């Protein structure tokens, strides 16, 4: 079934997710940084053909060598590269060419297009290409496509069997492109393009030619359809239409109604390809492993078991031509393993060597070829001279089998690390109930539609027990919604008219009507999935060390293997060890060769390249399951070194729900008149304190019904309150308050600074009253009318219940908590004392919070900033680790390194604790990865053989090499058992 137009990922687009880093590491600029740092651009590139850390290091080096590239990070497991560059110096083609010159396949990953076509008028189409088996096929197809007239660019990916072609539709058509590919000997079919006036849909219900004619008849008579084509083989219909007259949902509706329900048009979920790709990789590796095992077991059986069974052994010794029957059987079985099942290693090794690089495939091909071709040589030499030497066919067979076993287990583990994304994808609803309205807005019916056909502005019905189909606003009804699967908050959230709802959450009780305002990739759920995917492909700075080691490891190992061969051979020839050490019918060269092959096999560095990315992938998935979204490995690495955590006060340490607790009048005005005057001035302000004052005044007077108050709180015009006075010349003064005119007289509502700048004297008794409020953790708001202070309001913002415990827990972890606020010093001191913070900064404007962060960074301290992600965004971006409280805001996602989905400070503890445990696991992974090499290489080289008679046969070396990768992956998977600290146990944390 063809993907829908919503599956498109074809045109370049900059991502909004930033990956900031500290120290001397290069910085991939976020959207916030880009506003201040020129016209840098960031793209992601799919890289096919990488098999170990040496490969990823080669790609990264090639990218960094380009003039204009300011940052490049390559993720081995995800086969992706993240590149930040100056588009005035480097083009997309330069980046892909650099990767291809390094011996790999490159493809720019693109985002959905929002325009009808690109500015140049070219189209970008995707084609499925079958029959490709190696990089040579890829180069062949690309070469053919690039030579076609009208084709501007062509990129082919072997792993996905996809080709992406940018072409001029005036010069060449998609059918011409398909024909060119097929003429080259490959299968081809069109998949999708960036045309927004075309869609490809799967059709079910086609049973005969009459059904096809019925479909064509419906489309011919449908207004807005320009042309269409039905593929009888794939049962897909391609439709070109006028988007101003027709939409995708209208197409589906007209076809299904016109066929009286016989025909159904199907839309493919955009994320289903991800799960199928993991399954396909695992299935392929399992098939290769089982095939190799099937042919290898008889070889081992003939070597180990048959000599103990006289009848079978006599059959193997039976001479058939120049060789014994056993030799013929071993040669035939191992040849299949070596050149049919193991063909992939030769292909990959050849590609690497042609481009001057070395990787795991080179070592595997070198080790297996040495044992195989020596065994063939030994047979031929024995047939000619009569001197028979031992053969080592089983070494080649078992080595390939163990390598494929390791690859299969790795593919299973990689699939498991994406469980968090799979769970998020499963939250997406499959269907929705669309309400049908007449021209007067009256509901006249309802129908069930595919959730992928929801359009902005649709009114959808949500019944109890079902998933909300899209992000939107409640327009009718009230209910409680379980948002724990997205926010992690266990308590159901009350949703009433004008409440925002998140697609994928579950409606618990009452029915709701919601108006969809975000669909497709714009939904909160899709943004979360995108964030987790980006994080899992990121590279931690610690991995650069592993990449460096891997880049020099393979040549070093090959050199060491040659030295081992020469050393043992020359030592034997010179008589340094007795001939009794030699195997039966063996010679010095055979004896030396086995040590050399063992060195080549055991030293594969693939485990080294998996140590960091597997742990990062698991950690980001675990974090997402616990409501903590992590930007990537660099953020994880910095978080485990945090020395200071700076908290914003309002909305972070406090609940962000200000309430008026005191109203004191210092003039002859009565209390009701005073409150009405203040509320009238504050009614036009969006500040939380202003809303608290208006709400307090409404309750005091009982002038309005609750519905009126609700209307105000939902952002409607303040004049819905009939008792409010008319104001003029209203202005809000950030960091001070508001001012306006009521009845021709000036009214000021704000802090001392506002009064001082307007030359209004604050009497001592008023000042003393404000001081008392501030010392009790309340904010004092001064009110001046006609140049005189007429009263004071006391406003309190309750602390979050977990604030004090989290602060104490951070101290137990060796992290110093700091508070920063724009509030006055006395109120800040009272709040800090209540939560247990001794270091705080008061009267700090939003822009100044970043300066506070920088002051704590002096001396190389790693500083985290915890804020709401809106007015704190400069500080979040300036901090080494930005943690945004609350989810769903673009600024939070762009500026912060961690997004804490719940407004719960406990997640700060979780973020730091998870980071520390992740990097403890990474260090353990490096121990596993290096232990096999450091310990096993000397054993494989025979260093201890003269004294202990210990040697490592090549097939055992292959098993150790495969198990090294498996042990690293399994070690990372243990992070899935992570359990976040509970409030009852946080205080038991001690600094290690």
Q: Which residues are catalytic?
A: 648
Contact between 2 and 192 (Cβ < 8 Å): yes
**Cα(299)–Cα(440) distance, integer angstroms:** 81
Work out the burial of residue 262: count CB atoms within 10 Å of its CB; fewer than 13 is exposed, 13-18 middle, 19 or more buried: middle
DSSP 178-213: HHHHHHTT-EEEEEEES-TTEEEEEEE---SHHHHH
What does the block give as tokens for 660? Answer: 């008026």
C-alpha separations of 260 from 83, 263, 720, 862 in Å: 52, 8, 50, 66
End-to-end CA distance of the chain: 55
Q: Which residues contact 485 (CB under 8 A, 6 or more apart)?
A: 427, 504, 505, 506
Q: Is 435 helix (H, G, I), strand (E, B) or coil?
A: strand
DSSP 8-state class, residue 339: I
Torsion sign across C-alpha atoms 701, 703, 705, 709:
negative
Task: Check if the beta carbon of residue 203 is closer than 8 Å to that of residue 263.
Answer: yes
For 308, list phi and psi in degrees, rounded to 5.
Answer: -95, 0
H/E run at residue 479: strand 479-482
- Number of helices (H) and strands (E) in the chain: give both, helices first: 34, 36
Find the helix or strand (DSSP H, E) in which 918 lies.
helix 906-940
DSSP code of residue 523: S
Are 178 and 202 in contact, with CB atoms under 8 Å apart?
no
Please give the Cα distance from 678 to 783 (Å, whole number): 7
- For residue 382, give the nearest of 329, 311, 327, 333 by alpha carbon: 327
| Other Cβ atoms closer than 10 A to 237 | 24
The DSSP string of 763-821 is -HHHHHHHHHHHHTT-EEEEEEETTEEEEEEEEE-PBPTTHHHHHHHHHHTT-EEEEE-
Indicate the burial class of 983 (C-beta count within 10 angstroms; 0-12, 13-18, 19 or more).
middle
Give alpha helix (H) positions in 584-683. 588-602, 606-625, 633-639, 671-682
| Contact predicate 900/894, CB 8 Å | no
Report the Cα 871 to chain-centroid distance in Å. 26
Which residue in 196, 243, 189, 269 sits closest to 5, CA to CA? 196
**The dihedral sign for the CA sequence 6, 8, 9, 10:** negative
Beta bridge partners of 740: 747
Structure tokens at 789: 């202070």
Helices (H), 207-342: 209-220, 248-258, 272-304, 310-316, 325-336
163 close to 126: Cβ distance less than 8 angstroms: yes
Instruction: Please state, in angstroms and rounded to a whole number, the distance separating the CA atoms of residues 992 and 988.
Output: 12
746: left (phi over 0), alpha (psi -120 to 50) or beta: beta
Q: Within 647-687, where are the H helices?
A: 671-682
Handedness of CA 301, 304, 308, 311 (dihedral sign): positive
């Amino acid at each position: 079934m063809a993907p829908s137009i919503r599956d498109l990922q074809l045109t370049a687009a900059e991502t909004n997710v930033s990956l900031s880093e500290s120290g001397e590491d290069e910085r991939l600029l976020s959207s916030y940084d880009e506003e201040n740092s020129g016209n840098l651009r960031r793209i992601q590139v799919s890289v096919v053909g990488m098999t170990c850390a040496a490969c990823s290091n080669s790609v990264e080096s090639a990218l960094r060598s380009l003039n204009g590239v300011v940052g490049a990070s390559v993720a081995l497991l995800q086969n992706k590269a993240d590149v930040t560059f100056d588009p005035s110096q480097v083009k997309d083609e330069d980046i892909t060419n650099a990767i291809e010159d390094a011996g790999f396949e490159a493809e720019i990953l693109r985002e959905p297009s929002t325009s009808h076509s690109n500015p140049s008028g070219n189209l970008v189409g995707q084609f499925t290409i079958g029959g490709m088996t190696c990089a040579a096929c890829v180069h062949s197809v690309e070469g053919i496509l690039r030579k076609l007239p009208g084709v501007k660019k062509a990129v082919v990916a072997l792993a996905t069997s996809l080709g992406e072609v940018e072409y001029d539709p005036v010069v060449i058509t998609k059918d011409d492109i398909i024909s060119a590919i097929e003429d080259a000997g490959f299968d081809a079919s069109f998949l999708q393009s960036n045309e927004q006036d075309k869609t490809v849909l799967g059709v079910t219900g086609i049973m005969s030619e009459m059904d096809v004619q019925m479909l064509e008849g419906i489309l011919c008579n449908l207004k807005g359809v320009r042309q269409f084509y039905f593929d009888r083989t794939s049962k897909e219909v391609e439709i070109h239409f006028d988007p101003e007259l027709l939409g995708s949902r209208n197409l589906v509706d007209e076809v299904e109604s016109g066929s009286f329900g016989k025909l159904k048009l199907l839309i493919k979920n955009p994320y289903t390809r991800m799960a199928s790709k993991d399954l396909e990789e695992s299935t392929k590796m399992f098939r290769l492993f089982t095939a190799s095992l099937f042919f290898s077991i008889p070889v081992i059986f003939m070597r180990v078991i048959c000599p103990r069974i006289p009848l079978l052994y006599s059959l193997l010794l039976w001479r058939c031509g120049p060789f014994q029957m056993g030799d013929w059987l071993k040669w035939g079985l191992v040849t299949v393993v070596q050149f049919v099942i193991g063909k992939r290693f030769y292909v990959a090794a050849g590609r690497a060597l042609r481009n001057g690089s070395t990787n795991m495939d080179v070592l595997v091909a070198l080790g297996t070829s040495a044992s195989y071709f020596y065994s063939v040589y030994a047979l031929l030499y024995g047939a000619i001279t009569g001197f028979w030497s031992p053969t080592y066919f089983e070494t080649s067979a078992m080595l390939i089998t163990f390598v494929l076993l390791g690859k299969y287990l790795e593919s299973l583990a990689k699939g498991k690390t994406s469980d968090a994304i799979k769970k998020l994808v499963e939250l997406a609803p499959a269907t929705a109930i669309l309400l049908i309205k007449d021209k007067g807005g009256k509901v006249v019916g309802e129908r069930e539609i595919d959730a992928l056909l929801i359009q902005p502005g649709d009114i959808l019905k949500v019944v109890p027990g079902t998933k909300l189909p899209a992000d939107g606003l409640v327009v009718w009804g009230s209910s409680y919604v379980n948002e724990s699967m997205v926010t992690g908050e266990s308590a159901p959230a009350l949703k009433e008219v004008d409440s925002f709802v998140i697609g994928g959450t579950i409606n618990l009780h009452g029915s709701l009507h919601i108006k969809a305002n975000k669909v497709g990739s714009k939904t909160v759920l899709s943004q979360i999935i995108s964030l987790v995917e980006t994080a899992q492909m990121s590279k931690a700075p610690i991995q650069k060390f592993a990449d460096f080691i891997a880049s020099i490891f393979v040549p070093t190992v090959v050199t060491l293997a040659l030295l081992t061969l020469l050393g043992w051979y020359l030592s034997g020839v010179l008589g340094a060890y007795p001939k009794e050490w030699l195997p039966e019918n063996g010679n010095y060269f055979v004896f030396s060769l086995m040590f050399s092959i063992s060195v080549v096999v055991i030293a594969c560095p693939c485990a080294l390249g998996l140590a960091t990315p597997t742990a990062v992938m698991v950690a980001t998935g675990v974090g997402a399951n616990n409501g903590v979204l992590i930007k990537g490995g660099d953020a994880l690495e910095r978080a485990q070194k945090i020395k200071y955590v700076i908290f914003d006060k309002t909305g972070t340490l406090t609940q962000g729900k200000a309430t008026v607790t005191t109203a004191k009048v210092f003039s002859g005005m009565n209390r009701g008149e005073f409150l009405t005057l203040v509320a009238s001035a504050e009614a036009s302000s969006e500040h939380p304190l202003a809303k608290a004052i208006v709400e307090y005044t409404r309750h005091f007077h009982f002038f309005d019904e609750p519905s009126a108050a609700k209307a105000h709180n939902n952002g409607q015009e303040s004049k819905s309150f009939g008792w409010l006075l008319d104001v003029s010349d209203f202005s809000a003064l950030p960091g001070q308050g508001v001012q306006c005119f009521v009845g021709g007289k000036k009214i000021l509502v704000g802090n001392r600074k506002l009064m001082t700048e307007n030359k209004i004297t604050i009497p001592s008794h008023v000042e003393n009253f404000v001081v008392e409020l501030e010392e009790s953790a309340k904010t004092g708001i001064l009110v001046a009318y006609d140049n005189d202070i007429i009263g004071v309001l006391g406003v309190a913002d309750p602390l979050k219940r977990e604030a004090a415990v989290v602060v104490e827990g951070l101290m137990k972890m060796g992290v110093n908590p700091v508070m920063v606020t724009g509030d006055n010093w006395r109120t800040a001191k009272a709040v800090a004392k209540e939560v247990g913070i001794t270091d705080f900064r008061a009267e700090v404007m939003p822009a100044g919070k970043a300066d506070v962060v920088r002051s704590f960074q002096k001396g190389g301290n790693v500083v985290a900033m915890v804020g709401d992600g809106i007015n704190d965004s400069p500080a979040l971006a300036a901090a080494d680790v930005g943690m945004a409280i609350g989810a769903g805001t673009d600024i939070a996602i762009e500026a912060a390194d961690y997004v804490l989905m719940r407004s719960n400070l406990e997640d700060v503890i979780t973020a730091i604790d998870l980071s520390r445990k992740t990097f403890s696991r990474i260090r353990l992974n490096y121990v596993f990865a290096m232990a096999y090499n450091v310990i096993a290489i000397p054993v494989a080289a025979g260093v201890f053989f003269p004294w202990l008679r210990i040697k490592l046969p090549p097939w055992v070396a292959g098993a150790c090499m495969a198990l090294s990768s498996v042990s690293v992956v399994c070690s990372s998977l243990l992070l899935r058992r992570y359990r976040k600290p509970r409030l009852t146990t946080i205080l038991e944390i001690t600094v290690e």
